[in-house]
Amino acid sequence: MKIDLWTEKHRPSTLSEIVGQDAIINRLSKFVENRTLPHCLFSGPPGTAKTTAAIALARDLFGESYERNFMELNASDERGIDVVRNQIKTFARSLPAGDAPFKILVLDEADHLTSDAQHALRRTMESYASSCRMILICNYSSRIIPPIQSRCAIFKFNRLKKEFIESRLDFISKAENVSMTPEGKEAILYLADGDMRGAINLLQAAASTGEVTNTSVFTISGQADPIKIRNLIKEAHEGRFEQSLQHLRELILQWGISPLDLIRQIHRELQKIDISVDSKRSALEKAAEAEFRIAEGANGEIQISALLAHISYRNDE
């Protein structure tokens, strides 16, 4: 049975439909007008329209011959040198169909390619540049070897602003006849943090339970309500240490919040909370240490309890 993914169903099909990346879209539109394109490297956080821009660019450029002149591969599935020698090379060496000036190969998550595969890809990019242009997509451009970066026009995508994601959520909720409360929308925007794909997935998941409210969003995401996190920190800071420990146990044991997600939310809320600069600086340092230890396998409840104890102890001094 086919799963109806809203992130695919409501994906923009042309460059003009993409929002929040105006400078990049303007540059790509010029390539479409001139029917030319260099090798490209799209980098940036997840959910910021990198893959969507590559697909929309190909659609605008090729029109009806899009499917015959476009190929998308995910490098996280095929990471080794064989994928370059076989799939990529075979596609790149064949001539474009119809009146297309060249073909486009999109290599998603290119930063997962091994070093040997990237060096092999460098030669392929050089040898078949006349028949095939490549668009490499990654989250971290620093993981792409310098010889490939020097052969590409680099486009850095930024996290999307709140208003762009909010507008898309309203559009999709109306198209899918979903009831969404203002608090539910704010919860999605908070958790997505500039990630459009994440926001749409949260909307779809929460909608499957009925009305999209802040409770349904936080429950379905496995994240804590930021109000609960702020109260947790304030309780420790104001000397109510036992209460903060009790609420910590509730979040972990009753709500099932992952300690790693919890410490990252605590770090995020520490930056917003109204406490002295010295207390905030010290708490952030201890939060970073706790996050590292939890990621390395230490007991999350113990580490966050120690952080709350530190916050409470400093305030008593």
Q: How far apart (Å, rounded) are the C-alpha atoms in residues 8 and 5? A: 6
In this structure, what token pair is assigned to residue 53? 């821009």
Q: How far apart are CA 165 and CA 196, in angstroms?
A: 6
Top-level CATH class of 6-156?
alpha beta
More confident residue, 54 or 86: 54
Global pTM reads 0.83
**Residue 23 one-letter amino acid:** A
Instruction: Quote the pLDDT of residue 78.
Output: 59
Mean of the pLDDT values across residues 98-106? 89
Dihedral sign for Cα atoms in the order 262, 265, 270, 272: negative
pLDDT digits 0-9 by tens, 246-285:
999 999 998 889 999 999 999 999 998 888 888 889 999 9
Q: Does domain 226-316 have CATH number 3.40.50.300?
A: no
Task: Return all residues near 240 (Cβ < 8 A) that are at least 6 apart.
Answer: none
User: Order of strands, edge to edge, in the sheet holding 103-108?
Assistant: 70-74, 103-108, 132-138, 40-43, 153-156
Which long-range CB contacts under 8 A does 143-152 form with residues at least 24 apart? 143/111, 144/41, 144/43, 144/110, 144/111, 144/118, 145/115, 145/118, 145/119, 147/119, 147/122, 148/41, 148/118, 148/121, 148/122, 149/41, 151/39, 151/122, 151/125, 151/126, 152/38, 152/39, 152/40, 152/41
Residue recorded with tokens 């009305």: 211
Question: Is the domain defined by 162-221 classed in CATH 1.10.8.60?
Answer: yes
pLDDT tens readout for residues 139-188: 988 999 999 999 999 999 999 999 999 999 999 999 999 999 999 999 99
CA–CA separation, 107 vs 76, rounded Å? 10
Best CA proximity match to 167, nearest among 146, 188, 141, 149: 188
Q: Where are the domains of the chain?
A: 6-156, 162-221, 226-316
φ and ψ of 127, to 5 deg: -70, -35
Mean pLDDT of the chain: 89
pLDDT band at 1 (very low <50, low <70, confident <90, very high): very low
